[in-house]
A and B are shown apart, each in its own frame.
Chain A
Amino acid sequence: EAGVAQSPRYKIIEKRQSVAFWCNPISGHATLYWYQQILGQGPKLLIQFQNNGVVDDSQLPKDRFSAERLKGVDSTLKIQPAKLEDSAVYLCASSSGPGQFFGPGTRLTVL
């Protein structure tokens, strides 16, 4: 089966600019996650969707981050405006049972 797809793979922006990331989960997976992984740290959950509804967004900085999964399949994560501390790898994962399947991630650099 095809894996979780993410784009872009790399993004460099200046602080205060906006950026969006896209994720296409494995077909049929109802649960989708966005994680932020800062260098030297493990991934940290930003938001979890079950189909097109939000299950957990308690760690999402809602003043600048937003995410949606309108049709219960693809998802986008947006940062507006970006800060220097947002530099990280943004991972998308999906699951339908045991084990989460991760995408390759988007490496964001904020200058």
Chain B
Amino acid sequence: AQRVTQPEKLLSVFKGAPVELKCNYSYSGSPELFWYVQYSRQRLQLLLRHISRESIKGFTADLNKGETSFHLKKPFAQEEDSAMYYCALSGRSGSQGNLIFGKGTKLSVKP
């Protein structure tokens, strides 16, 4: 079965500390992985995709096919990073395929 697991509902760190939001997936083929973010009172928006291998707002995520993981990392958290983060996978090429989301992790960065 296709599934995305985000084991932490809430992650609280201090400003300047490293942060890692965990994501594990279950999929029989080669999925495309995404991280979406929702800031307070804003709409859900794409943060990054694994195939682009880019860094957005200092965040990076590496796809580990052996561990079926796609953890989101940032070396120095900022208060403005506080938001809800969702890991998602698509089983079809490109994001024309529908997304399967995890339950999300709320990141709280304290001053």
| Interface, chain A (partner B; CB < 8 A) | 3-4, 31, 33, 40-45, 48, 50, 55-56, 91, 95, 97-105
Residues of B73-109 whose CB lies within 8 A of A = 86, 88, 94-96, 98-104
19 further A-B pairs in the complex, CB-CB below 8 A; given A4-B43, A95-B95, A103-B43: A3-B43, A33-B99, A42-B4, A43-B44, A44-B101, A45-B99, A45-B100, A48-B98, A55-B98, A56-B98, A95-B96, A97-B94, A98-B94, A100-B95, A100-B99, A101-B45, A102-B45, A104-B43, A105-B43
Using A41-B103, A103-B43, A104-B43 as known contacts, say yes or no to A97 and B95 having CB atoms under 8 A apart. yes
| Interface, chain B (partner A; CB < 8 A) | 4, 34, 43-46, 49, 52, 86, 88, 94-96, 98-104
Which of A43, A55, A104, A105 gathers the greatest number of chain B CB atoms within 10 Å?
Answer: A43
Residues of A within 8 A of B4 (CB): 42
Residues of B within 8 A of A43 (CB): 44, 86, 99, 101
Closest-by-CB residue of A relative to B51 is: A98
Residues of A within 8 A of B44 (CB): 43, 91, 102
Residues of A within 8 A of B43 (CB): 3-4, 102-105
- Least CB distance from B51 to A in Å reads 8
- Least CB distance from B85 to A in Å reads 10
Q: Are B101 and A100 in contact (CB under 8 A)?
A: no
Q: Are A42 and B86 in contact (CB under 8 A)?
A: yes
Offer 15 A-B interface pairs, CB within 8 angstroms, sorted by A.
Answer: A3-B43, A33-B99, A41-B103, A42-B4, A42-B86, A42-B101, A43-B44, A43-B86, A43-B99, A45-B98, A50-B96, A56-B98, A101-B45, A102-B43, A104-B43
- 9 closest Cβ pairs, A-B complex: A42-B101, A102-B44, A99-B46, A45-B98, A104-B43, A102-B43, A43-B101, A48-B98, A42-B103
Q: Are B46 and A100 in contact (CB under 8 A)?
A: yes
Q: Are A99 and B95 in contact (CB under 8 A)?
A: yes
- Least CB distance from A88 to B in Å reads 13
- In the bound complex, CA of A42 to CA of B34 (Å): 13
